Amino acid sequence: MKVRFTRTAQRDLAQIHAYLSQDSPDIASRFVARLVERSRNLGDNPFEGRATDEPNARVTVAARLRYLIFYTIAEDEIHITHIRHTSRRRPSGWGR
């Protein structure tokens, strides 16, 4: 399956890179590349993540990186919708 990153996910990656770049731009680039690679691996196993309480949304953990990757499956594509650190609170728009 093809994996696409939404604008929100792209913004998340840019913010992660900016934050980590404060210490080391090289490490930040490699770290974000690992998150992108982990996200793209979902194309081979789209149901790896668990369902969330949001309609059609799933989440998987990039364990060693300590990030959550949120995504939806739409026909023959996976849409990465949000990437956040495991220590961050749930976005305010998520509530049920």
> How far is Cα 66 from Cα 46, in angstroms, rounded to an integer?
20
Summarize the confidence of residues 52-81 as an average pLDDT.
92
In the chain, what percentage of residues exceed pLDDT 70?
A: 93
User: Which CATH number describes the domain made up of 2-85?
Assistant: 3.30.2310.20
Q: Flag whether pLDDT at 70 surpasses 80.
A: yes
Domain ranges of the chain: 2-85
Beta-strand relationship, 2-5 and 77-85 = parallel
For 24-49, write each residue's pLDDT tens digit. Answer: 999 999 999 999 999 999 999 999 99
pTM across the whole model: 0.88
Q: Extract the tokens encoding 4.
A: 């696409």
> How far is Cα 7 from Cα 85, in angstroms, rounded to an integer?
18
pLDDT band at 55 (very low <50, low <70, confident <90, very high): confident
